[in-house]
Amino acid sequence: MILQDRVAIVTGAGGGLGRAHALLLARHGAKVVVNDMDQSVAVRVADEIIAEGGQAIAAAASVTEETQIATMVERAMSRWGRIDILINNAGILRDKSFAKMTLADFRLVLDVHLMGAVICTKAVWEIMRQQQYGRVVMTTSSSGLYGNFGQSNYGAAKMALVGLMQTLALEGEKYGIRVNSLAPTAATQMTNGILTKEALERLDPKLVSPGLLALVGENAPTRAILCAGAGHFARAYVTLTEGRYVGNADDAGERVIARWEEIGDRFGETVPPYGFTQAEHELASAGCAGKVLAGGH
């Protein structure tokens, strides 16, 4: 029961991955807020948890509606007095090639995946800061990390969540808040009609959820991207190569082209601890020694 007495919110938990996440967290001792837009399915999952001896409440709310999310958070605080874990799982698909996609469908997907996670995280952030403890998981995707045909909107939203994770992990560190990302592959309503029957059978959502335990427990990492599917787990990284200095001569562009393979050589690449690492690396290569940040940053 490694999550004993922890309070968790799981968005989009009425079915698929969210349901699997909620059930697993509850089985490990967490008290769970089961969120979904559909009250009936949220109640059904909450009842499953309660039937197994756990504690849960159902909360119908859209992640894009700030007032609804605020009410959900207030209910959890009123019931249990704290919020330790937030799983930003809610999402939708509007797949089409970029040429055929409407801007409305692009905005809608970004609104649900990205702004939905922002709204939910913002609603619990100060609570976690005050209690000096928090675990937040963003749901990213290989479509964002590596691209996928017909998913420019979804991929953009999912990669944006990685950027959100990177910064929130830095800002939350001194408050005991750890922020990570899960990139799942699972058979859900969102993948119906895309994968074969055999693939769907092997990609049971419950085979993804165990990865959450590593991301939300007492000894959770921070800024990790965990890829999970069919019982297999891997880590993804955003890395920086050593690169090459070409200077500021008139032919700098030609030099970049000529040294392209060297610039992209992955030997010695690193995972930067923060974004400004790139600038520090570039300035050092240009011969700028010593402190480069002004104003005590």
Q: Where are the domains of the chain?
A: 7-236, 239-297
The answer on pLDDT for 297 being more than 70 is no
pLDDT value, residue 62:
98
pLDDT value, residue 192:
59
CATH code given to domain 7-236: 3.40.50.720
Average pLDDT of the chain is 94
Of 170-174, 214-218, 273-277, minimum mean pLDDT range = 273-277
The answer on pLDDT for 193 being more than 70 is no
pTM, entire model: 0.93
pLDDT value, residue 255:
96
Percentage of the chain exceeding pLDDT 70? 94
pLDDT value, residue 296:
47
pLDDT value, residue 293:
62
pLDDT value, residue 288:
84
Task: Give 59 or 185, the one with higher predicted confidence.
Answer: 59
DSSP for 79-136, please give it.
HHS---EEEE-------B-TTT--HHHHHHHHIIIIIHHHHHHHHHHHHHHHHT-EEE
pLDDT value, residue 292:
60
Rounded to an integer, what distance in angstroms lies between the CA atom of residue 171 and that of residue 86? Answer: 16
Bridge partners (DSSP) of residue 137 are: 87, 180
pLDDT tens, residue by residue, 124-181: 999 999 999 999 999 999 999 999 999 999 999 999 999 999 999 999 999 999 999 9
- For 57, list phi and psi in degrees, rounded to 5: -130, 145
Mean pLDDT of 255-279: 95
Q: Is position 237 annotated as part of the catalytic site?
A: no
pLDDT tens, residue by residue, 4-50: 999 999 999 999 999 999 999 999 999 999 999 999 999 999 999 99
Is the CB of residue 80 less than 8 Å from the CB of residue 72? no
Mean pLDDT of 75-81: 98
The dihedral built from the CA positions of residue 70, 73, 78 and 84, taken in this order, carries a sign that is negative
In the structure, what pLDDT confidence band is assigned to residue 188 with cuts at 50, 70 and 90?
A: low
**DSSP for residue 174:** G
The answer on pLDDT for 190 being more than 60 is no
List the catalytic residue out of 154, 175, 237, 245: 154
- Beta-carbon count within 10 A of 142 CB: 17
**DSSP for residue 151:** B
pLDDT value, residue 187:
76
